[in-house]
A and B are shown apart, each in its own frame.
Chain A
């Protein structure tokens, strides 16, 4: 049998598999570094001992206050804490100048989604880790990955291209929200999240 036929076929197969599994996932997202590095681990660890809610509180009206403003950091960071380059940059460029840090938010939902933290934390008593995973214990901020076509954060689809064998907090697509709602017997309608 002339092996040329199967070989050509295999070559096509291998090229497409390589493209689909290796090259495309890299091309799909562009990586952007966060403006500065930040260690959640130091802040939530034993030495500082802060909780998530101290920097990301729910407002009086039940609304999630989002990212902490520079005013939240100021009391401890008017002077540099430690000797890292990052800390020096943070204090000089942001705290001293009163500028907000333009963080890139991994979990930012697209504009057509209105997500309310209040019912999830206040009523459903979900821990932050249910959706954000071990982010609160991270020592480094990974690069923010933005989908080149949809401009969504990679965290919406989740880190795995196949979405198989994921941890429960990996992925924030509508189907993920619905699956959790269904599992908890929570009724939903289109207008719950899309206004």
Chain B
């Protein structure tokens, strides 16, 4: 008998085999084993083995410079935690030791050709040659040279200023959205425009925060206001700071300045402003006229808040002083509009806190008496004027829409970035120079714009720098030598300059060092040598200098800086009844860095505990009004472009508002970079003053 195998036999056998396999443990254990196998590929870094030890230093991932203790095995940090009795590290700091192994880490200079599928490795000589050529062209008048500095006042910042001093019109500007940059608006209030001002937060009992993520580490407020502090948070969304605040005022996006004027109106009309205060305001009459145009009923209608809430807040601010009013950078949303900030920060003067608008004492530079290029504001640069842009993201990144900078670039501008990662702002560069990340090199954490006293922390390396990492100061030196610019001195690295600065502080014997495990600060004058001061800083200590002397002559002008948009009608008509206010949303720690740890990546992508990148959230009411109630995927349209987003509904989102998660992006979470990768934050088109905290958008199905 012949047995012929037919196609039907094969199908039956395969069907039986498939069912049999599914009824056995094989596919399930195989899936598990394969998943583990993919985690153990040869090129995946492995924790080192060796002796256990601990080391103390400062977290360099944001301006808060939290002192940290690292558990190390075989000299590699395997766990970070707060040192001494310091406040706990945030999730970024806690996982900071993962970042040197992020998939977006680079150790060779990269060239990113527009339209090319992948970046290509190039030599550092080629990058220096091209950059020096662009610098030479700028010197001969083809445009300006600008350095975008994500952490001003470092020794590295000084090195750039020193290099640019020899190039006419070259300036250093703070990266848009840098923490504390909102306080720039204070300068518009001061009668003495020559001095940098800030707010003195010490001893404040009430903080009225407009968008500043004060409960997430912004501005070191936790140190400045110990004890019983009342926090009033004004923010359209239920951010972490809003959740932790004593009162949350969810004002409609873009109406924060109006709310400030409404509060001012109550303070003035209820005679809660003492006469000594009104005398310190140079244009009080003009200001009163403007404020009179914002009675409570009108402000309530514009902001969407109850008039009683606004009045009550104003009275509480006056009664529970000292009060400090801060305007900050919403995570991913940058600063509010400039006129809003002027209106908000002006409340400090009105609340009798004029003494709180103080001169900001400057941090000693690494070297004295050398020519330096000026520091400017990005908004002050003419459009399409920048021929060479250097993005110094070696000390951290800031999430901002690229359009804020792009509109300043000449059509043939060269963009060079310094960054440990091919991620974040560096993705927009033509060349990326690899630098050493946190824990692999010296990083300085100087006082930010929010601090009245100068301060400095040093984050010492706990890991050897990987081969290929270029020191930013050494890169400055390379550019100087390629451009035949004499910088003088023999400084050649971040460490050499940072040590010079520490030696200057020691020689001046000013201030003291707070050490993580000690309750009392160590006066600098008691330290025998600059090396001792260096060691104290490198072990997580923070040096704080003296505040600027009080300026009794200071008078403030509150009316002059208020923008036309505030003093005239507020809230332009909606473009259509489908128009929503788009507000960017992110956790603070994801907007200060180009990459996050794989642990956070899991949190964002698998747990649904945090909103994943590219997701938009709106209230069920708004969704119903737009016919999007059962829609899960949508397209978001703004003047900056369009993008597909996953849609979710949340009762906590304000009606007429769509919250878009802008950070971390997929590359930050560890996905491979693609040439066509579009960051959600780039959908936000900035206003003329460079702000992008809320913009108009439409949502359509698809």
Q: Are A5 and B12 in touch, CB under 8 angstroms?
A: yes
Chain A residues positioned under 8 Å from B97 (CB to CB): 195
8 A Cβ contacts from B10-37 to A: 12-21, 23-27, 29-30, 32-34, 36-37
Is B630's CB within 8 Å of the partner chain A? no
CB distance from A14 to the nearest CB of B (A): 7
Chain A residues positioned under 8 Å from B71 (CB to CB): 195
Chain A residues positioned under 8 Å from B603 (CB to CB): 190
Contact of B47 among A10, A21, A195 (CB under 8 A): A195
Q: Are A190 and B599 in touch, CB under 8 angstroms?
A: yes
Binds B, one of A65-73, A126-134, A143-151: A143-151
CA distance A25 to B25 in the complex (A): 9
Q: Are B79 and A195 in touch, CB under 8 angstroms?
A: yes
8 A Cβ contacts from A15-74 to B: 15-17, 19-21, 24-25, 28, 63
Is A112's CB within 8 Å of the partner chain B? yes
8 A Cβ contacts from A100-152 to B: 110-112, 114, 147, 149-152
Contact flag A12-B14 (CB < 8 Å), given A194-B599, A195-B47: yes
Contact flag A9-B26 (CB < 8 Å), given A14-B20, A16-B21, A149-B34: no
CA distance A24 to B95 in the complex (A): 39
Q: Are B16 and A10 in touch, CB under 8 angstroms?
A: yes
Q: Are B47 and A111 in touch, CB under 8 angstroms?
A: yes
Contact of A157 among B9, B18, B24, B29 (CB under 8 A): B29
Is A180's CB within 8 Å of the partner chain B? no
CB distance from B439 to the nearest CB of A (A): 13
Chain B residues positioned under 8 Å from A28 (CB to CB): 29, 33
Chain A residues positioned under 8 Å from B42 (CB to CB): none
Q: Which residue numbers of A lie inside 8 Å of B, CB to CB?
A: 4-5, 8-17, 19-21, 24-25, 28, 63, 110-112, 114, 147, 149-152, 157, 161-162, 190-191, 194-195
Contact flag A191-B95 (CB < 8 Å), given A25-B25, A152-B36: yes
Contact of A24 among B15, B23, B24 (CB under 8 A): B24
Q: Are A191 and B94 in touch, CB under 8 angstroms?
A: yes
Is B87's CB within 8 Å of the partner chain A? no
Q: Are B9 and A191 in touch, CB under 8 angstroms?
A: no
Q: Are B23 and A20 in touch, CB under 8 angstroms?
A: yes
Contact flag A114-B78 (CB < 8 Å), given A21-B25, A195-B47, A195-B97: yes
CA distance A195 to B74 in the complex (A): 14
Q: Are A15 and B20 in touch, CB under 8 angstroms?
A: yes
CA distance A147 to B30 in the complex (A): 11
CA distance A149 to B23 in the complex (A): 22
CA distance A14 to B47 in the complex (A): 44
Q: Are A8 and B37 in touch, CB under 8 angstroms?
A: no
CA distance A75 to B34 in the complex (A): 46
Is B40's CB within 8 Å of the partner chain A? yes
- Nearest 9 interchain pairs by C-beta: A20-B24, A12-B16, A16-B20, A13-B16, A150-B36, A20-B26, A12-B13, A12-B17, A149-B33
Chain A residues positioned under 8 Å from B95 (CB to CB): 191
Q: Are B15 and A19 in touch, CB under 8 angstroms?
A: no
Chain A residues positioned under 8 Å from B9 (CB to CB): 4, 8
Contact flag A9-B16 (CB < 8 Å), given A112-B39, A149-B33, A151-B40: yes
Contact of A12 among B12, B34, B39 (CB under 8 A): B12
CB distance from B19 to the nearest CB of A (A): 6
Interface residue SS majority, chain A = helix
CA distance A149 to B94 in the complex (A): 32
Closest to B3 in A: A4
Q: Are B40 and A162 in touch, CB under 8 angstroms?
A: no
Q: Are B13 and A9 in touch, CB under 8 angstroms?
A: yes
CA distance A16 to B16 in the complex (A): 8
Closest to B37 in A: A149
CA distance A190 to B98 in the complex (A): 13
Closest to A113 in B: B47
Is B568's CB within 8 Å of the partner chain A? no
Closest to B11 in A: A8
Chain A residues positioned under 8 Å from B79 (CB to CB): 114, 191, 195
Chain A residues positioned under 8 Å from B8 (CB to CB): 5
**Chain A to chain B contacts (Cβ below 8 Å), 14 pairs:** A12-B15, A13-B19, A14-B20, A19-B21, A20-B25, A24-B25, A25-B25, A28-B33, A63-B52, A114-B79, A151-B40, A161-B29, A190-B602, A195-B97
Q: Which residue numbers of B lie inside 8 Å of A, CB to CB?
A: 8-9, 12-21, 23-27, 29-30, 32-34, 36-37, 39-40, 46-47, 52, 71, 78-79, 94-95, 97, 599, 602-603
Which of A21, A114, A147, A191 counts the most chain B CB atoms within 10 A?
Answer: A191
Q: Are B599 and A191 in touch, CB under 8 angstroms?
A: yes
Contact of A8 among B16, B20, B30, B78 (CB under 8 A): B16
Seed contacts A9-B12, A21-B26; 20 additional CB < 8 Å A-B pairs: A5-B8, A9-B13, A9-B15, A13-B16, A15-B13, A15-B16, A15-B20, A16-B16, A16-B17, A16-B23, A24-B24, A24-B30, A63-B52, A112-B39, A112-B47, A149-B30, A150-B36, A157-B29, A161-B25, A190-B599
Closest to A63 in B: B52
Chain B residues positioned under 8 Å from A25 (CB to CB): 25, 29
CA distance A24 to B23 in the complex (A): 13
Chain A residues positioned under 8 Å from B37 (CB to CB): 149-150
Closest to A61 in B: B52
Which of B8, B12, B15, B47 counts the most chain A CB atoms within 10 A?
Answer: B12
Chain B residues positioned under 8 Å from A10 (CB to CB): 16
CA distance A105 to B330 in the complex (A): 51
Chain A residues positioned under 8 Å from B14 (CB to CB): 12
Chain B residues positioned under 8 Å from A147 (CB to CB): 33, 36
CA distance A152 to B17 in the complex (A): 28
Q: Are A24 and B26 in touch, CB under 8 angstroms?
A: yes
CB distance from A161 to the nearest CB of B (A): 4
CB distance from A7 to the nearest CB of B (A): 9
CA distance A151 to B36 in the complex (A): 9
Closest to A161 in B: B25
Chain B residues positioned under 8 Å from A9 (CB to CB): 12-13, 15-16
Chain A residues positioned under 8 Å from B40 (CB to CB): 150-151
CA distance A195 to B32 in the complex (A): 22
Closest to A23 in B: B26
Closest to B33 in A: A149
CA distance A16 to B74 in the complex (A): 47
CA distance A13 to B22 in the complex (A): 10
CA distance A20 to B25 in the complex (A): 6
Contact of A19 among B12, B13, B19, B26 (CB under 8 A): B26
Which of B8, B19, B21, B23 counts the most chain A CB atoms within 10 A?
Answer: B21
Chain A residues positioned under 8 Å from B13 (CB to CB): 8-9, 11-12, 15
CA distance A12 to B17 in the complex (A): 4
CA distance A9 to B47 in the complex (A): 49
Chain B residues positioned under 8 Å from A191 (CB to CB): 79, 94-95, 599
CA distance A195 to B78 in the complex (A): 5
Chain A residues positioned under 8 Å from B18 (CB to CB): 12, 16
Chain A residues positioned under 8 Å from B34 (CB to CB): 149
Contact flag A149-B36 (CB < 8 Å), given A12-B16, A195-B97: yes
CA distance A172 to B12 in the complex (A): 39
Chain B residues positioned under 8 Å from A114 (CB to CB): 78-79
Chain B residues positioned under 8 Å from A15 (CB to CB): 13, 16-17, 20
Closest to B607 in A: A190
CA distance A11 to B11 in the complex (A): 12
